[in-house]
Structure 1
Amino acid sequence: MNQHPGSPRPADGPPADAQQADPDEAQAVRREAGGAESSRANRSWWDRNADEYQDEHGAFLGDDRFVWGPEGLDEETAGLLGPADRLKGLSVLEIGAGAAQCSRWLAGRGARPVALDISHRQLQHSRRIDARLAARAGGTGGDAPAPVPVVQADAGALPFRDGSFDLACSAYGALPFVADAAGVMREVHRVLRPGGRWVFSVTHPIRWAFPDEPGPEGLTAVSSYFDRTPYVEQDPSGRTEYVEHHRTLGDRVREIAAAGFRLVDLVEPEWPAWNRQEWGGWSPLRGRLIPGTAVFVCLRD
């Protein structure tokens, strides 16, 4: 699960403050940011921060777990991709795969996944996990699992032929971090076969109205839900370091329909009692009151 540019599992949403106090640190602003700028900044951001991200969240994400967001909604029980026993033999594209934990879960059910991410460093972590699992299997006499095939690419220009996949999925990957999310939808539609399923999770749009704080201070709306101005972090010289794009629920539905998909479900996971972790602005306190994740289940007719 990337919460950043294709990598990413959930990114920390936009903070309340427009500027950070320390002039030597990155500044957070709301301003326009185009496709090339967003792609370049987010690729670099994830390459720089992949190690810290995997260190901090690796235990929650697991090596071969498919989790849709910080709430901990697990595909093993949710079944949003369809019955697990029907995944065997399906070709699957995971977009914004990070260290390919979701793809590894799919492979364990007999699917044939390909993990795509914009960040080379995130995909190196996928190789690291594959190597560790292989060494562990070899040390116990078991069969070593095959490494997950990985591809470094931008989600807006998928390097695959039309109709290459039966299924596509993304857990907090790519879509919040590209300027042209509608273009990503069209690309996914292109590479899916008729009848294919496209399931993706993103930060719930309502979160953009609230400060990115897990405590009580994050429970008061301070920004307009309808303000689609991108959230940008830039260094003191003005160079863009990170970009995240906001779309309303209606925007997402229109992008889905315009690309030729049929929306069959929209899941807003509730925060479970067992999950006591905080992750950016996600927390048990906020999770009991407002949704943090939206999962869209779409079909290519």
Structure 2
Amino acid sequence: MVQEHEPGTPGEDTEPTATRRTADEAESSRASRGWWDRNADEYQEEHGAFLGDDRFIWGPEGLDEAEAGLLGPVEALKGRDVLEVGAGAAQCARWLGAQGARPVALDLSHRQLRHARRIDAAAAGAGASGAGDAAGVALVQADATALPFRDGSFDLACSAYGAVPFVAEPVRVMREVRRVLRPGGRWVFSVTHPIRWAFPDEPGPEGLSISASYFDRTPYVEQDESGRAVYVEHHRTLGDRVRDVVAGGFRLVDLVEPEWPAWNHQEWGGWSPLRGNLIPGTAIFVCERD
């Protein structure tokens, strides 16, 4: 799920301070769970209409899996076991279920998964079919670096801006995903395009001038008055991401950089038509295990 660096901490008088500093795996995980639990309501209210209740959107550009087919042909999803990592309210998993797949939606945030249950309950109450049945989407609260599944449990795994940008050791996520995939399984994930880290996170003209080194891998941290991290995001260069994929035991088969479509007039944090027509905002890695 995309975050736009405008966090608020309900109940606190002061806003977090943004900085660049180191943050280990434990601090990053703790900050991510807390941030999403506090901000899930606002996030779903602001972006829920764009994401839809049962659509698979890869990022702010609006690239739809129904058209992109990065997980494979839509008709081939039927009967496949699919894990969505960092699922938020499970919108992508819900779409997969409607195609006949057997999805499991995993997220670190309990509050995000509560929104998944809310959507399922509303769909069931409306008498929708497929993902809107009484059972809804299978939900699991867990950390992406320690997936609570047996080896070879899934045919496919996916993540739309979930988990990968927020962990200090992304290779751990790659290896865990590989472990739970069956041979030949595909793993597709999207993250903020690494080039964006060299520019201010602003949607207007001020976001078009380089303000930092692309090679500075120091994490972006928002911390409270005591110095406790309340939000952490980790920068990896494009080469780093490729090396993480390979170190995790995958073969990179495609790297997709979605162009900004003419129909999309929205601004989402630092994403906008202005910037999207000039520099990439999202990178999607399509990987396969042997």
TM-score by length of 1: 0.92
In 1, Cα distance between the equivalents of 2:98 and 2:135? 10
Corresponding position: 1:278 with 2:267: yes
Q: 1:277-296, aligned counterparts within 5 Å?
A: 277-296=266-285
Q: Is the 8 A contact 1:199 1:298 kept in 2?
A: yes
Query: Once the 2 structures are TM-superposed, how far is the Cα of residue 144 of structure 1 from its aligned partner?
Result: 3.3
Q: 1:69-80, aligned counterparts within 5 Å?
A: 69-80=59-70
Q: 1:5-154, aligned counterparts within 5 Å?
A: 10-12=2-4, 24-137=14-127, 144=133, 146-154=135-143
Q: Which amino acid aligns with 2:252?
A: L
Q: Is the 8 A contact 1:232 1:243 kept in 2?
A: yes
**What SS does the corresponding residue of 1:137 show, helix, strand or coil?**
coil
Measured against aligned partners, the alpha-carbon deviations of 1:38-59 in whole angstroms (never above 9, x if no partner) come to: 0001100100000000000000
Measured against aligned partners, the alpha-carbon deviations of 1:51-89 in whole angstroms (never above 9, x if no partner) come to: 000000000000000000000000000000000000000
Q: Is the 8 A contact 2:121 2:134 kept in 1?
A: no
Pairing partner for 1:216 from 191, 205, 208? 205
Q: 1:231-250, aligned counterparts within 5 Å?
A: 231-250=220-239
**What residue number does 1:5 align with?**
none
In 2, Cα distance between the equivalents of 1:144 and 1:28? 43
Corresponding position: 1:159 with 2:143: no
**What SS does the corresponding residue of 2:261 show, helix, strand or coil?**
coil
Corresponding position: 1:194 with 2:195: no
Q: Which moved more, 1:143-152 or 1:263-272?
A: 143-152
In 2, Cα distance between the equivalents of 1:199 and 1:48? 28
**What SS does the corresponding residue of 1:51 show, helix, strand or coil?**
helix
Query: Once the 2 structures are TM-superposed, how far is the Cα of residue 146 of structure 1 from its aligned partner?
Result: 3.8
Q: Which amino acid aligns with 2:48?
A: G
Runs of 4+ in 1 over 4 A off after TM superposition: none
**What SS does the corresponding residue of 1:72 show, helix, strand or coil?**
coil
In 2, Cα distance between the equivalents of 1:13 and 1:180? 21
Q: Is the 8 A contact 1:13 1:208 kept in 2?
A: no
In 2, Cα distance between the equivalents of 1:25 and 1:255? 34
Q: Which runs of 5+ in 2 are unaligned?
A: 7-12
Q: Which runs of 5+ in 1 are unaligned?
A: 3-9, 15-22
Q: Is the 8 A contact 1:95 1:115 kept in 2?
A: yes
**What SS does the corresponding residue of 1:262 show, helix, strand or coil?**
strand
Q: Is the 8 A contact 2:198 2:211 kept in 1?
A: yes
Between the two proteins, the alignment pairs up a number of residues equal to 283
Q: Is the 8 A contact 1:41 1:242 kept in 2?
A: yes
Corresponding position: 1:185 with 2:177: no
**What SS does the corresponding residue of 1:167 show, helix, strand or coil?**
strand
In 1, Cα distance between the equivalents of 2:39 and 2:155? 32
Pairing partner for 2:193 from 186, 190, 204? 204
Q: Which amino acid aligns with 1:192?
A: L
**CA RMSD of superposed structures (Å):** 1.6
Change (3 A) 1:145 1:75: farther
**What residue number does 2:289 align with?**
300
Pairing partner for 2:240 from 251, 271, 291? 251
In 2, Cα distance between the equivalents of 1:84 and 1:95? 19
**What SS does the corresponding residue of 2:127 show, helix, strand or coil?**
helix
Q: Is the 8 A contact 1:169 1:198 kept in 2?
A: yes
**What SS does the corresponding residue of 2:124 show, helix, strand or coil?**
helix
Query: Once the 2 structures are TM-superposed, how far is the Cα of residue 240 of structure 1 from its aligned partner?
Result: 1.1
Query: Once the 2 structures are TM-superposed, how far is the Cα of residue 24 of structure 1 from its aligned partner?
Result: 2.7
Q: Is the 8 A contact 1:13 1:207 kept in 2?
A: no
**What SS does the corresponding residue of 2:126 show, helix, strand or coil?**
helix
Q: Which amino acid aligns with 1:41?
A: A
In 2, Cα distance between the equivalents of 1:175 and 1:259? 13
Q: Which amino acid aligns with 2:177?
A: V
